[in-house]
Structure 1
Amino acid sequence: MHRRALAALLTLAVWPPRDAAAQGRPVLRVTGTFAGVPGREAVFDLPRLEGLGTVPLVTRTAWTGSAPQHFSGVPLARVLEAVRAEGDSLRAVALNDYAVTLPVEDATRHGAILATRHDGVPMRVRDRGPIWLLYPWTERPELDTPVFRERAIWQLAQIHVG
């Protein structure tokens, strides 16, 4: 098979595609019970996700060195509110199928955000994007624990509300 044809087939098989942010393709799927109806799904491309309203986050992370980093993204609580999600826990799944489970209170009480930009630039897959679930560790040092660091899933692609 010709290399270009093979590359095109592989691109179709990857969700979301590596250049999802640039092309307006889906970057996040949220599934679960919405407004009392089980089995629902909402799909967000980057403009739709960021259209929910972004907030800045300046924080240190265990993965980006000791200097505070400048991120922006959508508060996780705002995404759950937008789809009218109902449930007590979230299962977050990355592009490589790595998954973590976290309580909804991480969104409502602990200020988790879905970071989509680092230094104002959309995050690429190779840079932990297109979405990285982050916490305000510098602002709230009590969250800077192994439990919350383990929940900071990058290359986030799906959230299931359960």
Structure 2
Amino acid sequence: MGEPQPRRSQPTATPPADLVAAPGYGARRMYQAYLAAWNRHVDGVTTGPQFAVLSAIRAYPDSDQSSLAGAVALDTSTMADVCRRMERRGLIRRTESPRDARRKILSLTDDGIAALEEVTRRTRRLDRELLEALPEERRGEIAGLLNTLGAHWEKVADRGPLSDTA
């Protein structure tokens, strides 16, 4: 038997220029990095969508589940799943609407309020770190631009086929 051969390190490939120029690549890369940062620095149990739902319930108490889905950029079936999981964890209450039993009215529990306060504190700290590379006076503008792009991309996703003409 021969000696084991040392592993040769592979050079790290850089992304091709046309990929770097694509906004979707940048968005996916940012999202992957955000998820990793969230899990490490904010909460490995409470997800970003759950945080958004908790925040929306605090902002719009006693609103129904379907109405809040749009506010947090979730489709209604995903919203229902997220709410069921948070209800099982004791973070929210879902009660039937007195006017329509199909509508679920959402409210925070004491545990939900406490979890939201802690996750909000950690999230704001992460937000500061994520935007640290930008001049302080531009951070609000950049966050606004990201939300504007998100709203536009949602509209593009809902459109019919895109044309090939420029």
TM range (shorter): under 0.3
Write 1 or 2 for the structure with the bigger share of helix. Answer: 2
TM-score with structure 2 setting the length: 0.25
Report the TM-score, using the length of structure 1 for normalisation.
Answer: 0.26
Larger of the two Rg values belongs to structure: 2
